[in-house]
Structure 1
Amino acid sequence: MVKKLKKMNLVKWVSRSLLSLLAMLPVRKKLVLFESFSGKQYSCNPRAIYEHMVAENPDFDLIWSVNKRNVKHFEENDVPYVKRLSFKWFLIMARAKYWVSNSRMPNWVKKPNHTIYLQTWHGTPLKKLVADMEEVKMPGVNKDEYIRNFHKEVAQWDYLISPNHYSTEIFKRAFDFKNKLLETGYPRNDALVNHNHAAAIKKIKEKFSIPESKKVILYAPTWRDHHNSGPGDYHFDLQLDLKQLQASLGQEYMVLLRLHSFISKKLVLDVDKSFAIDVSNYYDINELYLISDLLITDYSSVFFDYAILKRPILFFTYDLEEYRDDIRGFYFSLETEAPGPLVKTTSDLIKEIQSLKNPINSYEAFRKKFLSLEDGYASKRVVNEVFNMKGE
């Protein structure tokens, strides 16, 4: 173990030194490096900003940082990329004028002085974050160390995007963020406003061979900090009884299961693919939102985004007391403010689905508080602020 730790620290030192050395090279003022969930996806706010810039800012050189195991989608769709942690990646990281990411960089990464770091983050928080957390139950780190490392990374962020004023106040405090905060709405949600129409939905459904006669349930739960086999190795214990769901709803519905990107172990489903599909590796959840007739989630921030569509949301909160009181803690009462009912069993979920009511005129207070900026133009606002800078 000691040898492993020494080797790990040596690798970090060499990597940090290489990045610092290459940063002495001339800056490329129109080069932008994008990354989503540590290079695992082509998704979220970085994707929305990238696609806006491709269309509106063709003079920029745009490239993605991608984990070597996740290059397939980028290659198939001609999205320019560099393999994360390759020598070329270090060279681009060091010379790029801009970084755009929705999650933390490795803790050994030191941003060059000439680089502008746009941190988009990836959700409106229900769960307590960083300095607001009473306990840290992630493996391999204690609370003080976790907060210290996180705040060290945050000090490098030049810009941080916030989807609403509620999040702004939390981000400033929990992240200890002191630079330019952009309260613009989330760029990734532009698609939920601009592509919420029959033609786009039909095209996406065809990708998954979903019959037109079937309604779609999207199940998108969050991860559990304490369900792990070590650092970076989280698992998910599926409590949703798919066989029971199929017996009751199989004629009318099919289910798409989307696990959090932290989950490393693939689900083994005990029902036929004609009823349930694991879409955890699909590159962008926005398309899954668009084709879904209802969302089942728990404590994930996905419900804030999905509420833009004004479709039913059900909360499968079988471990509510444990998660809220012992694992993470919440910023508000889910029981009183959630835009949908909370249930604890598959049987109760089925009853709620069978008696669904149109929520279009419901939860207006929720939408006013959290979604007032989601008008389809967040990407434009962010790009105009960060990239059309005086003197550039």
Structure 2
Amino acid sequence: MTKRSKVVYHSFEGRYTDSPRAVYESLLARGDDLEHVWLSAPAHAHGFPPGIVTVPYGGEECVAALESADVVVSNTHIDLDWHKPAGSTYVQTWHGTPLKTIHWDVLFAPEGRLARLDQDIARWDALLSPNTASTGPLRGAFRFAGPVHETGYPRNDVLNAPDREERRAKIRAALGIAEGTTAVLYTPTWRDDDVFGDGPDFSLHLDLEAFAERLGQDHVLLLRLHYMVSGALGTVDVPGVLDVSFHPDIADLYLAADAMVTDYSSTMFDFAVTGRPILYFPYDLEHYRSKLRGFYFDYEAIAPGPVLRSSEEVVDAVADLDAVAARHRDRYARFRETFCHLEDGHATERVLDLFFPQAAARG
């Protein structure tokens, strides 16, 4: 009997989310005869569907799964000691259009970290790019000499799906967002000097109490921290604020939200697929740009929404989203032309055609 090919999926050190999820669900829906295994972290086990095969991220079972895989689909580095078998394929989807510099282009990194992660990059057989503007920065930062495929991100196909409005209604109901309530998704990124320094993992600079007091009952703030600092704030107990940092898939939150507030997070490029307003709160812009991380693109020049420097300005802008959208309509259109030109709802199909062609032909 012919052995079934084995596909191992890894997303953000053990979550059921992002482009690996989109690839997995499409293969499952297509009925390909494959063995599927997910790497799972205990803190995020609740996000995996019943019956899915998982192994704990980081342990012996995890290494064994990786070393027996025919295909590995991952959205970030697999920072583990494992040997990729000959003949297997490791597809690195990555997880965002890079505004901020990454890997060897960063201004700050702990000693030895980048060289250690290079061991994983050496295993990659292919890298996905979400758009033409990202291809050069991704290849250069990782010093990756293999193929970089401009496919768009499979994770964003749901944002163009025919049933996206039905999904939006279902997700909002599940989150307890009442009809007529304006949901604002806040996605601050992590800071290298917090995570790798001596201070706290993360500190929040948006005044949550002021948001709730000013905007009242008809607004809700969906707080989504970066996966590297998901639990850094502990319990958030502010009326009108939902901490959704452990919600399984951020694509659900993109669908549920009416607007986004962010700083330097790549979530801005994904959310732009929805066409809804994006506001910027870069409270530490000069430090982040010149000393901490640096950018590939001119931040203020490309921003498709207002760049705000205080909580008060953010709340004022959220209170008048129609005016924000009108003032930035042309900038928003240019932003989408540059960074969303491949987000047509068919990125997953392109990825399957590239890496599962025999299965595609049978389907």
Correspondence 1:249 to 2:215: yes
CA distance in structure 1 between the partners assigned to 2:354 and 2:303 by the alignment: 33
Question: How far is 1:229 from its partner?
Answer: 6.7
Question: How far is 1:152 from its partner?
Answer: 2.9
Alpha-carbon contact 1:150-1:175 (below 8 Å) kept: no
Partner letter of residue 327 of structure 1?
Answer: L
Alpha-carbon contact 2:156-2:343 (below 8 Å) kept: yes
1:228-377 matched pairs, under 5 angstroms: 228=195, 235-263=201-229, 264-272=231-239, 275-357=240-322, 358=325, 361-362=329-330, 363-377=332-346
CA distances 1:256-309 after superposition (whole Å, capped 9, x unpaired): 10001111423443522xx11111000100000101000000000000000011
Correspondence 1:211 to 2:178: yes
Alpha-carbon contact 1:216-1:293 (below 8 Å) kept: yes
For 1:295, what is the secondary structure of its paired residue? strand
Change in Cα spacing, 1:196 to 1:230, as seen in structure 2 (3 Å) is: farther
Alpha-carbon contact 1:192-1:286 (below 8 Å) kept: yes
CA distance in structure 2 between the partners assigned to 1:218 and 1:195 by the alignment: 23
Alpha-carbon contact 2:44-2:246 (below 8 Å) kept: no
Partner letter of residue 172 of structure 2?
Answer: K
Segments of 5+ residues of structure 1 without an aligned counterpart are 1-26
CA distance in structure 1 between the partners assigned to 2:31 and 2:244 by the alignment: 32
Q: Which has the larger radius of gyration?
A: 1
Query: Could you tell me the percent identity over the aligned residues?
Result: 37
Alpha-carbon contact 1:44-1:188 (below 8 Å) kept: yes
CA distance in structure 1 between the partners assigned to 2:58 and 2:116 by the alignment: 20
CA distance in structure 2 between the partners assigned to 1:198 and 1:147 by the alignment: 42
Name which of 49, 63, 74 aligns with 1:90: 63
Question: How far is 1:243 from its partner?
Answer: 1.4
CA distance in structure 2 between the partners assigned to 1:28 and 1:149 by the alignment: 34
Correspondence 1:169 to 2:136: yes
Alpha-carbon contact 1:32-1:61 (below 8 Å) kept: yes
Question: How far is 1:86 from its partner?
Answer: 4.1
Tell me what 1:6 maps to: none
CA distance in structure 2 between the partners assigned to 1:242 and 1:31 by the alignment: 46
Question: How far is 1:150 from its partner?
Answer: 2.9
CA distance in structure 2 between the partners assigned to 1:73 and 1:355 by the alignment: 35
CA distance in structure 2 between the partners assigned to 1:328 and 1:85 by the alignment: 28
Question: How far is 1:228 from its partner?
Answer: 3.1
Partner letter of residue 238 of structure 1?
Answer: L
Alpha-carbon contact 1:100-1:119 (below 8 Å) kept: yes
CA distance in structure 2 between the partners assigned to 1:107 and 1:84 by the alignment: 9
| TM-score when normalising by structure 2 | 0.91
1:83-122 matched pairs, under 5 angstroms: 83-122=56-95
For 2:192, what is the secondary structure of its paired residue? coil
Question: How far is 1:58 from its partner?
Answer: 2.6
| TM-score when normalising by structure 1 | 0.85
Q: CA RMSD in A?
A: 2.3
Question: How far is 1:93 from its partner?
Answer: 1.9
For 2:128, what is the secondary structure of its paired residue? strand
Alpha-carbon contact 1:226-1:327 (below 8 Å) kept: yes
Between 167-176 and 57-66, the greater mean CA deviation after superposition: 57-66
Alpha-carbon contact 1:29-1:97 (below 8 Å) kept: no
Correspondence 1:155 to 2:105: no
Partner letter of residue 67 of structure 2?
Answer: A
CA distance in structure 1 between the partners assigned to 2:186 and 2:284 by the alignment: 16
Alpha-carbon contact 2:108-2:293 (below 8 Å) kept: yes
Partner letter of residue 88 of structure 1?
Answer: E
Name which of 150, 153, 158 aligns with 1:183: 150
CA distance in structure 1 between the partners assigned to 2:25 and 2:288 by the alignment: 37
Change in Cα spacing, 1:355 to 1:90, as seen in structure 2 (3 Å) is: closer
CA distance in structure 2 between the partners assigned to 1:229 and 1:326 by the alignment: 15
Correspondence 1:37 to 2:12: yes
CA distances 1:319-364 after superposition (whole Å, capped 9, x unpaired): 1111111110011121111111110111111221223233594322
CA distance in structure 1 between the partners assigned to 2:302 and 2:7 by the alignment: 39
Change in Cα spacing, 1:48 to 1:368, as seen in structure 2 (3 Å) is: same
Change in Cα spacing, 1:371 to 1:169, as seen in structure 2 (3 Å) is: same
